[in-house]
Amino acid sequence: MKIISKDNFARENVADTLVAENVHDYYAKDIAEFLQSKHGGENASRYYEAVADDYKLWGGMAEFV
């Protein structure tokens, strides 16, 4: 699995970022929840999530150009 950070406010012009890849399923959700609890939150600019290995990162403005 991958751990990514996304824009917390769903703005299309902000790209996703890869935090870690090739993380075992057993640990991925816990790591994402830990990052969300320490660096995320209701008003934080980023949201951390565990996703499948085949997830394609959103490129932000590069997707529109």
For 30-48, what is each residue's pLDDT tens digit? 999 999 999 988 899 999 9
pLDDT tens for each residue of 12-30: 999 999 999 999 999 999 9
Q: What is the pTM of this model?
A: 0.86
Dihedral (Cα; 23, 27, 28, 29), 10-degree rounding: 170
Cβ(25)–Cβ(38) below 8 Å: no
As a whole number of angstroms, the distance between CA 22 and CA 7 comes to 22
